[in-house]
Amino acid sequence: MYLEISNPMDYHVALYIRLSKEDENEGPSQSVQNQESLLREFVQQHRLSVFDTYVDDGWSGTSFDRPGFQRMIDDIETKKVNMVITKDLSRLGRDYILTGHYMERYFPEHRVRYISLLDGIDTGVDSSANDITPFRAIMNDMYAKDISKKIKSVKRDKQRKGQFIGGKPMYGYKMHPSEKNKIVIDEDVAPVVRRIFALALTGESCRKIATILNEEGVPTPASYCGWKVGNPGPYTGLWSSERISDMLKNETYIGNMVQGRSVKISYKSKKCLRQSPENWVVVEGTHEPIIDAETFQKVQMLVASRKHTRSRTYDFLLKGLIFCHECGHPMAVLNRKNAAGKDRLFFVCRTYQRFTKAGVCTCHSIKEETVNKAVLSKVREVCHTYLNPDKLRQIAEEAVEDASKAADCETEMQALQSKITSLTTNLDHMYMDRLNGLLSEDDFQRIYRKVKMERTVLEDRLKSLQEQVTQPVSTGEKAKALVKQFLDSVPTSRELLVSLIERVELTEEKEIIIKFRFHELEAIS
């Protein structure tokens, strides 16, 4: 240790100590006590003043989101610390990118001198040891990567053997009191699991089961385990249909160990990716079942039989743009037939829909067409305000002149007539298919409306061209009509709506709040 400090009174020192579980395998030399003893000896030898000691015991070096390290950064930001000392570079971190960031950029920008004792690194002096620091950081990173691979391999091997390696067992089970990596039935909540399956057998939907449990005040799995929720919302502490569905399909309840349903992106990230069922690790007969196999299979058939009802979706103009003003969640859309038997879409609050009896939010029910009219009316007003018709007319006149030179009106009319005839033939075929039972009534009505609308558009265009041929219109009048058509059609463009509107909120009093992406356009309808 040949480091020299000529002006010790100018420094307020932070002693940083880190120890992970992997470092413990390297022997007692890496212990917290050993590191602190070495650092204390150095500061006494050089008559340095220690501001504080920062310890992260049991924290990996691949992440810098450590409590002790972040507390040290806070003290650096408030200028309480201007020197950081560690035993070696790997104590600071094992991610070579972030380690380099702190050494090469953060510490110099904040006038902090960094010293790594065993590596001979001192950013306060010009030394050859500093030049090879990036290579030391890369080696530390490679070590962390190698350790991660070994740990992942060990965990995967335990999974294949049917040993439980998770933090908390599936709801209804708990860790064995004496045997490691084994789970046993938790008799305190196992009756809840059995009741959920019993209700499912009677034909109750997942949403209905969740409603029953919420009404009776049964604690959710998260509440029972005492898990803290980072960002609590209106659903926090309530059973949901998704939770019930996940439990009903989990083979853990028939004695099979199911693991590997999600994997970490990398050893440097805590984020996980969900895996498809074929990639799960399932080992049969590893623990006592709560549900018998026959009951489980019957429930799977019942769940599968309702699959088509849950997968139905509807396309509507404001899809992805409309939210509940009170709870902030997206609005759901329901299809209801009116007195004449015609389909009508309604917006309802999804929170209310899922947790009706819990009183979390209110219905907010309103016709989809009512909201559309209000939103489109405001967008038309915005378009007419910010799009100058006179300037557009000049552009339209040039477009009309160019089009009149290049377009062959007769050819277009023939093409339109051909398409109209083809669509009419298709309608005839569909009608015959419906009579012969090859096409259901619902499918026929849906396709019929679509084809008929397309044919109507073509017929209107053909009629317009025919009028132009019989009654020639001036370029100015054509341009005026073109501008009017543009301004009238702009609000119904899905692409334009998404570009203009950030979100539409519906209040409990049926007030429609439009939030534009541009603040100067914001208004309340």
Tens digits of residue pLDDT in 262-308: 777 665 566 777 788 888 888 888 899 999 988 898 888 777 766 54
Q: How large is the average pLDDT for residues 108-121?
A: 88
Q: What is the C-alpha to C-alpha distance for residues 120 and 131, in angstroms, rounded to an integer?
A: 11
The tokens describing 473, both together, are 């219109």
Distances (CA, A) of 9 to 6, 16, 82, 110: 9, 20, 11, 18
Give the contacts of 257 (CB within 8 A, at least 6 positions apart).
159, 162, 163, 164, 281, 282, 283, 286, 287
What are the pLDDT digits (tens) for 414-440?
A: 788 888 888 888 888 887 777 777 778
Contact 114, 121 (CB under 8 A): yes
Can you tell me the distance from the alpha carbon of 401 to that of 245, in angstroms, rounded to the nearest whole number? 63
Kindly report the number of other CB atoms within 10 A of residue 196's CB atom. Answer: 27
* Domain 8-146 class, CATH top level: alpha beta
Long-range Cβ contact pairs of 159-162 (< 8 A, separation 24 or more)? 159/257, 159/259, 159/260, 159/281, 159/283, 160/281, 160/283, 161/283, 162/257, 162/283, 162/286
As to burial, measured by CB atoms within 10 angstroms (0-12 exposed, 13-18 middle, 19+ buried), residue 477 is exposed
**3-state class (DSSP) for residue 219:** coil
- First and final C-alpha spacing in the chain: 74
Higher pLDDT: 396 or 359? It is 359
What is the rounded distance in angstroms from the CA atom of residue 451 to the CA atom of residue 216?
Answer: 51
Q: Which amino acid is at 432?
A: M
Contacts of 314 (CB under 8 A, 6+ apart): 333, 335, 345
54 pLDDT band (50/70/90 cuts)?
Answer: very high
Question: What's the confidence (pLDDT) of residue 525?
Answer: 41
Rounded alpha-carbon distances, angstroms, from residue 320 to 22, 112, 314, 346, 490: 46, 48, 12, 15, 19
Give CA torsion, residues 299, 300, 305, 307, to 10 deg: 120
pLDDT bracket for residue 90 (50, 70, 90): confident
Q: Is the pLDDT of residue 506 over 60?
A: yes
Domain positions in the chain: 8-146, 173-308, 322-371, 374-520
Q: Is the pLDDT of residue 23 over 70?
A: no
- The pLDDT of residue 84: 95
Adjacent-strand bridge partners of 343: 337
Q: 153: part of which helix (H) or strand (E)?
A: helix 133-160
Query: Within the chain, how many helices (H) and strands (E) appear?
Result: 20, 18
Domain 173-308: top CATH class? alpha beta
What is the pTM (predicted TM-score) of this model? 0.44
The residue count for the chain = 525
Higher pLDDT, 321 or 187: 187
C-alpha–C-alpha distance, residues 506 and 134, integer Å: 55
Name the residue with tokens 């409990």.
508
H helical segments located in 65-106:
67-77, 89-92, 96-101
Amino acid at 280: W
